[in-house]
Amino acid sequence: MKQLLKKRWDKHYAKGKNKRYWHLTIDSLLMVIILSLLTINTYLSASNAGLVLGTYNNNDFIVENIPANQTNNLNDPNSATTTNKQTITNEPTAIKSTNINLQSLARYYTANGDQLGVGPLPPQVGTATKYWIFISINNFTHGLENVLISADLPDNVVLTGKSSVTIGDNLTLTDNSKQIKWQFSQLTRDNPEQIIGLAFEVQITPTIDQVGSTAKLLTNIKISALDTVTSKIITKTNTDISTYLNHDKTANSSGIIIAE
């Protein structure tokens, strides 16, 4: 390196005096570029090693690259002594509870057009019409415990006794036979594509005061469960289900109660 510098001096500075300032400018620019590259390389190496880097800006210390849950004591370079220290902890991002997609709907016909229900459609005063109600859950990303799905039956709506569930025990009725419950102890994410739901048949006998309007088939539809990751209770409520069958294209939303 020493011989290389001496050779460059003799060639461009000692003998070529007319071009001395030109070469001096070029060499100065090269030196600035080299020093800049060395500075950047040092910074990147320190960052990759997990070192704490920072600068003072309006008396606030800006800290970078402190791993989560790690506490660092930083000396204040503006302090007259080295005993003045700041303790800075980088807290991890809080985990949110899972979302639960609760779906509920009524059908008189299947999606393929096969008849499920029984009785007049649209519903008629004094005559029973039977529908099938479907409730399902999906889209949860954490395990669930103590899962409970519940709903209420209006005064002129009853269960027929026909029902089906994909997992666990069958649904139950409270003592007054107006609230249904379906519960199970645990749901895991081992099989994300598993269908989790229940289906049951209800019967409504419309009354005279319901003529010209739709009638409710199921109300207060909700789910509650414990998120096993966050240990928090999750609750969700769906809108009431009525004789207006907006999910049943074959029924053509024939839900307005008619007279005899």
252: pLDDT confidence band, cut at 50, 70 and 90?
confident
What pLDDT, on a 0 to 100 scale, did the predictor assign at position 82? 47
Domains of the chain: 101-257 (2.60.40.1170)
> How many whole angstroms separate alpha carbon 7 and alpha carbon 162?
101
pLDDT digits 0-9 by tens, 202-224? 999 999 999 999 999 999 999 99
pLDDT digits 0-9 by tens, 158-198? 999 999 998 888 999 887 789 999 998 888 877 666 778 99
pLDDT digits 0-9 by tens, 100-138? 889 999 999 998 999 999 999 999 999 999 999 999 988
245: pLDDT confidence band, cut at 50, 70 and 90?
very high
167-185 burial: b if 16+ Cβ within 10 Å, else e = eeeebeeeeeebebebebe
Question: Cβ distance 207 to 156 under 8 Å?
Answer: yes
pLDDT digits 0-9 by tens, 20-69? 555 566 666 666 666 666 666 565 555 555 544 444 444 444 444 555 55
What pLDDT, on a 0 to 100 scale, did the predictor assign at position 118? 96
